[in-house]
Structure 1
Amino acid sequence: MSEESKKIFETTVGMSFIATRMIQNAIQNKISKLRDDVNFEQMLVLMELDYEDGLRPSVIAERLHRSKGTMTSLIRHAEKNELIASAKDPHHKNAKRLFLTLKGKKVHDQLAQMIKDEMAFATQDLTEEERAHVFSAMEKVILRYKPDFYAM
């Protein structure tokens, strides 16, 4: 049966969507049991700042494919919970830069390990060859939508 004649969730991308949502939901459930001051979306912001601290909100929004309004809300809540701090950007008078606080770094490190564990659980039945194949296939999909993905 061709991909075109299948129902959406019977396709390769449909299965990828289902798997991604299942993993994301499992992670969100575990986050909510561990912490009441951060959710999955906020954790994504913490992960970006752990990777590269001092980013402008617009850069994080682009990397996470989120709107300006969504980012404003995520930043507001993360600042309120003392997970991140903002400072004026010395090179752009109307811009700011975001930084992980010590609390934010601690929360990130705690939750990042749980996320790694959940990702390992999700893929534990895949062989190394299957993992490499899935990685390569997903990389091609990502690059179709975001050719400069690795330039970010």
Structure 2
Amino acid sequence: MIMIYSDNPEKIFFYHYVEEIISNYGSFFNRVLKDNDMTIKELSVLLRIRFDDITTQQDLVDVFKVSGAYIAKLLRKFEDNEYIKREEDPENRRKKRVKLTEKGIKKTDELIKVIDDWEMEVTSDLTDEEITTLKNILFKIISKED
């Protein structure tokens, strides 16, 4: 990691740290899952489906700030690969809930393992207390309302 102010990290903008973290994760992901049939963005959507209790196509559009057409195409790909199934929402029959299948759960388990491995690698020089502090600070940052 090359940084202009490496001798004074307080002068580095947050966005630069975020870019470096994303780049590092992307490199790790591509190295570990080089034969994967999905992009990082697609797997992020699949993970969101796994960890949201009730998810709809519109929820995914809103969360990822992408077009409905993109999400529709992606969900079709997930269905074709048998990672998800869509069910009618009992409260609004025009909406479809999106849920993972067993195959989708297995796929996300693989990704969770990659994320765990990456986190362990990038935090290997930190103490447990530092990791907890870092996660709490990051949570505060992302929890601010728009």
- Give the CA deviation at 1:144: 2.4
The structure whose residues are more often strand, as a share, is 2
Percent identity of equivalent pairs: 24
The residue that corresponds to 1:17 in the other structure is 19
RMSD across aligned positions (CA)? 2.4
Q: CA 1:144–1:54 in 2, change beyond 3 Å: closer, same or farther?
A: closer
Q: Tell which deviates more after alignment, 89-98 or 64-73.
A: 64-73
Whether the 8 Å contact between 1:57 and 1:98 is mirrored in structure 2 is yes
SS at match of 2:144: helix
Structure-to-structure mapping, 1:78-117, within 5 angstroms: 78-117=78-117
Counterpart amino acid of 1:109? D
The structure whose residues are more often helix, as a share, is 1
1-structure distance, mates of 2:27, 2:65: 19
1-structure distance, mates of 2:114, 2:51: 17
Structure-to-structure mapping, 1:22-61, within 5 angstroms: 22-33=24-35, 35-36=36-37, 38-61=38-61
Q: TM-score, normalised by structure 2?
A: 0.75
* Structure 1 ranges of 4+ moved more than 6 A: none
Q: TM-score, normalised by structure 1?
A: 0.73
Q: Alpha-carbon deviations, 1:51-82, whole Å to 9, x = none?
A: 23542122233334444333223212211221
Q: Alpha-carbon deviations, 1:79-100, whole Å to 9, x = none?
A: 1221111122222132111111
